[in-house]
Structure 1
C-alpha cells in the first residue's frame, strides 16, 4: 500500500513539474475550449491566422449570415461607381411579397415609394430585412438569379472553399415559393462552412470597413418603424441584454432559420487587435452570443499581436546572394516589411522564417543577374510556426504569412571589358581545376 501511495505521489509531482516548467501542457490546456456549437472558428482579422477551430470545414445553412455576401457586393458596386448611396430603388412584386410575410425578418417595405440604397442597406445590416436584401440584389444584377451568380463567383474569387449560395437573403428557397432565383433548385438552401464564413467576414471588414458603421448601429428607423439591431453583444442600454454585452464588439451578422439554428458571425476590436468569430447551430438566440464571448475571451486573453521580425531583418548566414555579371559579386537581402502575428502567450520562441528565392530571378548557377535595383524583390520570407495547435490560415493561397525579400543596394552591370576578363578568368580556372582533378586521378 505504501509503495502504491509513493508511486502516486511521484506521478503527481512529475505532472506538477511538467506544468510548471514545460509550456506544452499549458498550451494544450489552453486549447481545450468547449464551444457549444456544431461548428466554430476564431480568426485574427489582421493576418487571417486561425486561432481556434471546431468542425470548421463542414457545410451548414448560414441563414441570414448569407447577407454578408450581399453586403459585400453592394459595397463593391458603390465603390466601383455602379450605384451610389443615394440611388433610388422601387420594391418589386417579389420583394414586396417577402416584405408582406410577417414570418420573415423585416419592417414591411412599401411599393408606393422610392428607397435609397442607404436606407435599404441599413435595413439589411441592422434588422436583417429580407425584402430590402432582395431589392438590393435586383438593383445590382437585374434579378436575384443573376445576383446569385455574382455571389458564387465572388466567393471563389475571395477564396471561399466550402459554400454554395442559392439566394441573397439566407431564407430557404422553399420558403420563397415560386420566386426562388432562376438557375437554382426550388428546395435548395444556402450552405457555407465556418471557415468560409470567416473568410468572407475577413474580406468584408478589411476591404470595406464602412460595413461596421452599419453593423454597430443599435437604433435607426425607416418608414416610421424602428430598426433595432439583432446583435445583443452591442452596448445596448438594456438590462435584459447586459449578460451578452462584450466590449469592442461592432458586428457583424446574426442568422436563424429552423434548418440553420442560431448562428452568428461576430467581430470585436481591442487595443488595435481585431478578431472574427463564427458559431453555427447553437441552440438558442442568446447562446450564440455566449459562445462568441468564450471565443473572444480566448483570443484576447491567450494571444498578443506581436512583431516577430522587423522590416530590414536579415536571416543569419543567408543575408547574401551571389550576383552574375555585376560590378559586385554579392548583394545583401532583407525583409521589406515586418512580420507580425497573434502569438500565444509564452510561445514567442515558436516562430522562425524561411527564405524562398524567386527562381525566375536566378541563372542556371543559382545567381542573381545584374543589373539589380535597390529594393528589388528577389523572393519572399515566410513565417513558420513550430508550436502546438496550428490551425492554419483562412487564406488558402498562402501557407503562412509572407513578406517580400528585397535587395539592400543596387548592383550595376559590369562593362564589357570586365565581363570579358571575368570570362577569361573563369575559363582558365576551369582548365586548372580539370588538370588538378586529372593529376589526382593518376595517384
Structure 2
C-alpha cells in the first residue's frame, strides 16, 4: 500500500512539473511579430493563457466599440430600444463626422436609419458615425452615453479603462484634445470582450458577417480578415473587433472556438511591417492561437 501511495505521489509531482514547465515555456516564447501589449484568455474561465504587458493602459481605437455594443444590446434586451427603431442624423453628428475622414456609413440628413442597420454597420465595417448615432439613440447625446460606458467599465472592475467617445477615434480626429482618447489595458479589453459574449452571445451573429449591404445598397466589408471566406481566414474565428488610429496603431480583439474552447485574444499597437497596418495584427493573432491553443 505504501509503495502504491509513493508511486502515485511521484506521478502527481511529475505531472505538476510538466505543467509548470509548460507554463514557463509559454512565458518565454518569443513571438515573431512585435506588439506593445498582448493577452490570450479562455473566454469561459477567464484563465490567462499568455500575456505580455497586458496591464498598461494604451489607446484602443475601435476596440472601444465592444463597450458600445454591450450597452446598445443592454438597451435592446431591456426593451428600451428595438431593432426597428429609427434614427435621423443630428446636427451634432454631422458636425463631428464632417471633421474626420474616418470610416463612416455616410448618413444623409433627413434620411432614417434603423438601429439594426447602424449596429451592423458599426460592427462589420467599424462605421464611426454609426457608433455616434447609436450613442444618441441610447442616451440622447454621445457625452451622456460615454458616462454610461465609464460607469459600466467601473462595474466590471476595470481600473485602467477610460472612454471619451463611443467610436474610439483619437480626440484630435474629432476636434477634441489629443489626450481625450479612449484608453484601456489589453487585459481590460479582454474582460469587456468576455462580458459582451457571455451576456450577449447574439453579438456573434453580427461579428461573423464578412459583409453587409447598407440601406442605400452600398456593400460594406468586414474589417476582420480572419473570418471564413476572407483573405486571412482561420477556421473557428467568428469575431470580434479591429482598430486603428494614429495613437493606437494597429489593434485587434479576436474570438473563436478552437478544440471546443472559446478563446479571446487582444493585440495592441502591433508593429506595422513596412507600413502595413492591416496584415500583422492578423498574423500575430494566428501565431498566438497556433502556438498556445492548437499546439
Query: Shorter-chain TM-score category?
Result: 0.7 to 0.9
Report whether the alignment pairs 1:281 with 2:269.
yes
- Identify the match of residue 251 of structure 1 among 236, 239, 248: 239
TM-superposed deviation, 1:226: 1.1
- For the residues of structure 2 that align with 1:101 and 1:225, how far apart are their CA atoms? 22
The aligned length equals 272
- Identify the match of residue 225 of structure 1 among 182, 201, 218: 218
Bigger strand fraction: 1
Q: Which position in structure 2 is the counterpart of 1:200? A: 192
- For the residues of structure 2 that align with 1:187 and 1:278, how far apart are their CA atoms? 23
Gaps of 5+ in 2: 1-16
Q: Which position in structure 1 is the counterpart of 2:293? A: 300
TM-superposed deviation, 1:254: 0.3
TM-superposed deviation, 1:82: 0.5
TM-score when normalising by structure 1: 0.59
TM-score when normalising by structure 2: 0.87
Pairing of 1:145-164 with structure 2 (within 5 A) = 145-164=143-162
- Identify the match of residue 125 of structure 2 among 124, 127, 130: 127
Q: Which position in structure 2 is the counterpart of 1:29? A: 25
Taking structure 1 as reference, are residues 186 and 145 closer, same or farther at Cα in structure 2, changes over 3 Å only? farther
Gaps of 5+ in 1: 1-21, 303-443
TM-superposed deviation, 1:113: 1.1
Deviations 1:243-273 (CA, angstroms, capped at 9, x unpaired):
x221100000000001100000000112431
Pairing of 1:351-390 with structure 2 (within 5 A) = none
Q: Which position in structure 1 is the counterpart of 2:3? A: none
- For the residues of structure 1 that align with 2:194 and 2:165, how far apart are their CA atoms? 21
- For the residues of structure 1 that align with 2:22 and 2:74, how far apart are their CA atoms? 44
The higher radius of gyration belongs to 1
Bigger helix fraction: 2
CA contact (8 A) 1:43 1:277 kept: yes
- Identify the match of residue 76 of structure 1 among 71, 74, 77: 74
Q: Which position in structure 2 is the counterpart of 1:171? A: 169
Q: Which has the higher contact order (CA 8 A, sep 6+)?
A: 2
SS at match of 1:164: coil
Report whether the alignment pairs 1:210 with 2:197.
no
- For the residues of structure 2 that align with 1:256 and 1:141, how far apart are their CA atoms? 26
Deviations 1:277-315 (CA, angstroms, capped at 9, x unpaired):
00000023111111111221233235xxxxxxxxxxxxx
Instruction: Note the aligned Cα RMSD (angstroms).
Output: 2.0
Q: Which position in structure 1 is the counterpart of 2:4? A: none
- For the residues of structure 1 that align with 2:179 and 2:195, how far apart are their CA atoms? 29
